[in-house]
Every structure is written in C-alpha cells, then in structure tokens.
Structure 1
Amino acid sequence: MSAQISFESTNDFSLQHPVVYKNWIEKVAVFHDKEIGDILYIFCDDSYLLEINQQYLNHNTYTDIITFDDSQANLLFAEIYISTQRVQENASHFSCDFEEELKRVMIHGILHCIGFKDSTEEEKATMRAEEERMMKLFHVEH
C-alpha cells in the first residue's frame, strides 16, 4: 500500500521539506510495525484549533494538537490538527527552536495512532521518551 501523508494549511504556514517529513513519519510507522494508510496534517492557528476543541471534544482550552485517530489494526489513518501559534509559543517556553517543537508535536500525533497514551503522568513520561527516540530518526539530507 502506498503511504498517503498530506499536509494542508489554513494559515500562512508552509511546511519546508515535506518529503523529508513524509519519509520520517513512514520510518516511525515501520519502526512500530505499522503501515501508513491516510494521514492528513492540517496546520492552523489557535482560534481554528480552539473551535475544533470546543465542537468535537467539548474542551474550551487552547492546545497544540488534536488527533482524530481512525487507525485499524496495523494501518494508520488520522487527521492531525496542529496550531502553529501554539507550537511557536511552546518552543519559546521550552527554549527550543520552532522546527524541533513542530517535529515533537507532529510525531506525538502519530504515536497516539500507534497506541501511546498520555492521560496519566506515567503515560506522559513514556510518550515523551518515545517522542525523543523517534525524533532521532529524523534526518535532512543536504
């Protein structure tokens, strides 16, 4: 099956090197014995993601990511919404650059589809450790 990873934007954000990101996401899936079905990333601003959070999850809070996971067995399907405003704010808060925080958030959504959770403190620690491990698989060829 051919991987269908797509990137769209509702704001002025444009993902640089989308093929590199696609290859990385595919590597992460394979690493976890999964295959990519259809994965759609939608980059947006805070207000757009807040509206989704309110409408579908009944949460009235800002967030950096919402993942609608429709994976089946070992085949990953998802719509992943990411607020680039929130990613920028978190990057400043965590003293890292935007691209590093963006990669962390992007792979966070995929890890949810793979089966990782982050409801408890223990799950959050496991998720963060796996994010770090999977970020090491990201390589930009120059």
Structure 2
Amino acid sequence: MNTNEFDIQFHFQKSIVLKERRRLKRFIMEKLFKEGNKCGSEVNFIFCSDDDLLEINRKHLDHDYYTDIITFDLSEKHSCKLVSDIYISVDRVRDNAKTERVLTTMELQRVIFHGLLHLIGYKDKTKKQEEEMRGMEEKWITDFSAFHG
C-alpha cells in the first residue's frame, strides 16, 4: 500500500478531543485499502456544531433535523480514487455518548467509522442494513483497539 496516495485530514470548526490521530489515519488507510480502495483516498473529516450540520442538512439534503454525521462522496465517476467530506456534529457525538452511556471517544470512533462504511457501500435505511452497519462499526472499533500500525 502506497500511503502517499491516501490523504486523511481532520478539521476542527468545533473542538473535540481526537486521540491517536496518526494511528487512526493509518488504520483508516489500511481499512480502505483492504476494502478495495487500491488507488488512494482523500477524506476530510470536518468537526462542527449541531447548528452547522443542521444547515448543511437543510441546504444539501432538504432534511430539517439534527444528525451526527453527513457523508458526501465527492469521487469522480469511474475514478478509483475515493474523495469525500465527512461532517460530524461534535454536539451530537457528546449527547449520543451520554444517552448510550459510552465514552465520548468511543462514540466519536463509531461515528467516524460509520461515515467511512457508508463510503465503501454500507447502507442503514432498512432494519437489516442498520444491523449490518452496527455490526461493522463494532468490528472496526474492536479492530482499531487491537491495531498497532
């Protein structure tokens, strides 16, 4: 795997602790490569507020509700390079962590992996798809905890 072909960036419009960024980037690169993304990726994670993500949701998706993540696949048709902007609401991540009684760090990992799973083809519109998505999120969280890359 040529890591020069993978560009994973984190942008903070709203602050949140993102631990082990280098290890997380290497993990993401490896996962995307193993999932068939052989010619590279350019993925931007943008951490923002509820209000910012609500505005994006209204403007681009015509949805009028809060969400924790919106993933935009910006890849060119017929290109093997994956290009994406993934917006994550820091406020939703924190609230969801409290509701689910998990550490914010774990919820943040779940949401990051959720966005990436969407990019590689996983859906969550039906109950069956949602169960498969949750299973893959848990698998990636487990894989990341054991990853030494």
Normalised TM-score (structure 1): 0.91
> Structure 1, residues 89-133: CA drift from partner, whole Å, max 9, x if none?
101111110010100000100000100011111110111111111
Hey, what's the Cα distance between the residues in 2 that align with 1:84 and 1:47? 10
- The structural deviation recorded for 1:7 is 0.5
Please report the RMSD computed on the Cα atoms of aligned residues, expressed in angstroms.
1.7
Hey, what's the Cα distance between the residues in 2 that align with 1:6 and 1:75? 16
- The structural deviation recorded for 1:74 is 4.5
Match of 1:122 in 2: 128
Match of 2:44 in 1: 40
Contact 2:15/2:90 (8 A) holds in 1: no
Work out the number of aligned pairs and report it: 141
Map 1:26-37; keep pairs closer than 5 Å: 26-35=29-38, 36-37=40-41
Map 1:68-107; keep pairs closer than 5 Å: 68-71=72-75, 74-107=80-113
- The structural deviation recorded for 1:5 is 0.4
Contact 1:77/1:113 (8 A) holds in 2: no
Normalised TM-score (structure 2): 0.87
Structure 2 gap ranges (5+): none
